[in-house]
Amino acid sequence: MSAIGRSRHACRLVCAGLFAGILTIISVPALAQPLSFLPLPAPAYQPAFPQYAPPNAPQSEEQAGRQSDDDQLPPELRRQVVVYQTPEAPGTIVIDTAHKFLYLTLGNGRAMRYGIGVGRQGFTWSGVERITRKAEWPDWIPPVEMVARQPYLPRWVAGGPGNPLGARAMYLGNTEYRIHGTNDPSTIGKNVSSGCIRLQNADVEDLYNRVAIGTKVIVLPATAPRAANDSLSAERNRAIAINQTGNGRMTAQVPVLPAADRQPAPSASRYAPLGIY
């Protein structure tokens, strides 16, 4: 074969090869499509295990009642929804001083119940107030009367985890008393304060988020009996009368016991706002 013939044969082979390559590219699926540089839409988040959903997921009142940040509390002192029959409107706070419970009425015969710490002997009180101020991580300034009794106390403590008032405070009327948290959860369920009502921090934050300024707060006497099933029963209503005077103030009254059954009368300081802690 001449050189010209060999050259033509080589050109035919090259052309045939190129044509076959083009046909192969056309017939093969576009495998590179999934590697497109266009952003793909993110799939909606659906947890495979709902029980491990983020802790900030919406919760029902029952779920909130079953959870507590402090498992060291006895079960009866943990936040929980209970049966609670009362004529008070939903959103009212009722403090059962004798049994160390705070109830936030929810309506329909239910209430959120919290374990609390209350005033030690000689510093409990009763009556009706309203929340007049709310504060997050409040400072603590012991009043003069408290410093006189306990000179070792600091004169001022900045708000924070080490503050005795804890994470939140709700101030009651024009008194020195308040509902607040604590940096010592072991005091819940005990008579420990100078008249204030304390909750563990997780509970006081929960309560703080549920109530507003103006919320009615009823503090029952330390001698008030506890009705069965956490109910303000007819027996309790007869034993404890909430009376409203002409100036709008309300007081709690209890029956007078026979002289033989009476306890020694407390000192007059019991009725003065002598402390906030």
pLDDT digits (tens, 9 = 90+) for 57-102: 455 544 444 454 556 799 999 999 999 999 999 999 999 999 999 9
Active site includes 180? yes
Token output for 277: 């802690």
Confidence of residue 259 (pLDDT cuts 50, 70, 90): very low
Who contacts 160 (Cβ-Cβ below 8 Å, separation ≥6)? 137
Q: Quick one: how far is CA 91 from the chain centroid?
A: 15
The pLDDT assigned to 172 comes to: 97
Mean confidence (pLDDT) of the chain: 73
Enter the pTM of the model. Answer: 0.59
Asked if 203 and 113 count as a contact pair (C-beta separation under 8 A), the reply is no
The pLDDT assigned to 251 comes to: 40
Dihedrals phi, psi of 70, to nearest 5 degrees: -125, 95
Active site includes 196? yes
Instruction: Please pick, among 9, 15, 99, 196, the residue that the annotation labels catalytic.
Output: 196
Asked if 194 and 117 count as a contact pair (C-beta separation under 8 A), the reply is no
Calculated CA dihedral for residues 22, 25, 26, 30, nearest 10 degrees: -160
- The full set of domains in the chain, from first to last, is 61-254 (2.40.440.10)
Distance of alpha carbon 167 from alpha carbon 185, whole angstroms = 12
The pLDDT assigned to 183 comes to: 87
Asked if 186 and 72 count as a contact pair (C-beta separation under 8 A), the reply is yes
The pLDDT assigned to 153 comes to: 76
Distance of alpha carbon 171 from alpha carbon 213, whole angstroms = 9
Q: Which of 42-51, 209-218, 242-251 has the highest mean pLDDT?
A: 209-218
